[in-house]
Chains A and B, each alone.
Chain A
Amino acid sequence: MIEVKNLTKMYGNFVAVNNVSFKAQKGQILGFLGPNGAGKTTTMRIISGYMPATSGTVLVDDLDIFTQSLEARRRIGYLPENPPLYNEMRVEAYLRFAGRLRGLARGELEPALEHVIDVCGLKEVSSRICGQLSKGYRQRVGLAGAIIHDPQVLILDEPTIGLDPRQIRDIRALIRELGGQRTIVLSTHILPEVSQICDKVVIINEGHVVLEEALDALPAGTSLEDVFLSAIARERGHEDIEAEQELEEVSAGRSSAQ
């Protein structure tokens, strides 16, 4: 389970994430949507414990990611936007390293390694060097590294970006398979992806949540695209209206001064 409470992250004076709250229940796959620069990656980095929030908390299985960080991080598998591969390592060696780093004992390591190689379809590249892999394989090796310790919570930052249609289909199937008992937060801007694999959607724009809804609770007949665009447009609308009002006030002030 993941609970994000009133998360705010400032970079200097710039507010990247503004009072974001949402919840993903155990077994849920949560689609995290938003335009580029909306604060998705920042939020996911905070959830994964890479960096702390300016204020607010994240609970992972009721463990605070800041105060009980090591315990919480043990339960998380995190795949950043660029898979964190060491280019000079062989795939197997990399996965072993990822497993041991996540605290797998020697005895657990080999079965876990075999399992992820199998699940992520890496058999034919297992002895290749990471730096020579195609984008699709890099993504899959990254994913294998993120799930090798069988985490209860998975954070996936745009896992299907840059893949060809067949690879996208495979990764989606894999993610759906991984769901079930796990909690998954997955960011993307491919909307059909969310309707296909997610149970719940959170839309974020300019750092704050504009929609948090279970997918089957969305009004029947509306496509996710409409929901997304209208949610974001509503925001824009507000700003436009405010800007117009300001303009009117300025011009009104000017005319009254004349």
Chain B
Amino acid sequence: MRNALVIAGREIAAYFVQPIAYVVMTVFLLLGGWFFFALLRRFDLVQQMYLAMQNPAALQRMNLNQMVIEPLLHNMAIVLVILVPAITMRSFAEEKRAGTYELLLTAPVRTGEVVAGKFIAAAVLILVMVALASIFPLILVLFGNPEIGVMASGYLGLAFLGLAFVAVGLFTSSVTQNQIIAAISCFGALLLLYVISWPAETGGGSFSQLLRYLSLPEHFATMVRGLISTKDIIYFLSVIAVALFLTQRSVESVRWR
């Protein structure tokens, strides 16, 4: 564990020196802010429309959570599909290219600890990003009355989603020494996880059920709606576990080639 933290510490410092961390955070928050602004404008517009129509029943039904936070979270998830490959593409690929891989693999450190260190570093970055993005619901709490529990559940979902993405990204980076290949294949894998249930939308067979279970947005959407169920948590944890296990195998396999 100590070794993993030593590696994570170096890695986090590198994110900020490079300065990948600042760029990624800025892009994430700028886009998030833009979505938030657009959604609020729409909310406002609809509200004024109902007011003008003097329709109190419709006004009653208007819901900040559904109309602003839910679409905002889904949009930010899509932004993560693009940003996470940029965060993780370096992690192993760059070490191989620069030759520092030899330092890591000849140090008295287990490959599992190397993978854990890299994961912790990228996870910290993602969690900081999600935490900073909680400024948006905070604004809503200050000026409106949204349901805090539902928002918290949605943000928890976004955090889990980010961690799962990072684990996949580490794996794609571990199989190549070319950062572009790492990023593109990570992007492809994440997008596939996103759309994997498309052929199964209407079908009811066991194959369709399987595809729907594998589909990432399905689990994410449940949490965004405010439902935290063990099923979804287990799904995210298993994606992380499987991806990190494959990464560890792939790093170890360098030794056997």
Contact = CB atoms under 8 A, between A and B. Distances in A.
A74 interface: yes
B10 interface: yes
Given A88-B14, A97-B10, A101-B3, A52 B256 contact: yes
A100 B6 contact: yes
Interface stretch (A28-36, A75-83, A209-217, A240-248): A75-83
B243 to A, nearest CB: 24
User: For chain B, what secondary structure do more than half of its interface residues adopt (helix, strand, loop), or is it mixed?
Assistant: helix
B99 interface: yes
Contacts of B103: 80, 84, 98, 101, 145
A213 B249 CA distance: 41
Q: Chain B: interface residue count, which band? A: 20 to 34
A101 B6 contact: yes
Q: Give the most central of B104, B105, B110: most A CB within 10 Å.
A: B105
Contacts of A101: 3, 6-7, 103-104, 107, 109
Interface string B93-113: 000001111111111111000
Contact of B99 (A49, A51, A76, A84): A84
Given A52-B255, A86-B98, A73 B110 contact: no
Contact of A78 (B14, B17, B101, B102): B102
Nearest to B102: A80
Contacts, number: 69
B18 interface: yes
B257 interface: yes
B110 A70 contact: yes
A74 B104 CA distance: 12
A84 B6 contact: no
Contacts of B17: 88-89
Contact of B10 (A74, A86, A103): A86
Given A80-B99, A84-B100, A86-B100, A50 B13 contact: no
B108 A73 contact: yes
Query: Counting chain A CB atoms within 10 Å of each CB, which of B6, B108, B256 scores highest?
Result: B108
Contacts of B3: 101, 103
Contacts of B256: 51-52
A87 interface: yes
Contacts of A52: 255-256
A51 B257 contact: yes
Contacts of B100: 84-86
Nearest to B104: A101
A11 B256 CA distance: 10
Given A51-B255, A80-B99, A97-B6, 15 more contacts: A45-B102, A49-B105, A50-B102, A50-B106, A51-B256, A70-B108, A71-B108, A73-B107, A84-B98, A84-B103, A88-B18, A98-B103, A101-B3, A101-B109, A103-B3
27 contacts: A45-B102, A48-B102, A50-B106, A50-B255, A51-B257, A52-B255, A52-B256, A73-B108, A74-B108, A80-B99, A80-B102, A82-B99, A83-B99, A84-B99, A84-B100, A84-B102, A86-B14, A88-B17, A88-B18, A89-B13, A89-B14, A89-B17, A97-B10, A100-B6, A101-B104, A101-B107, A103-B3
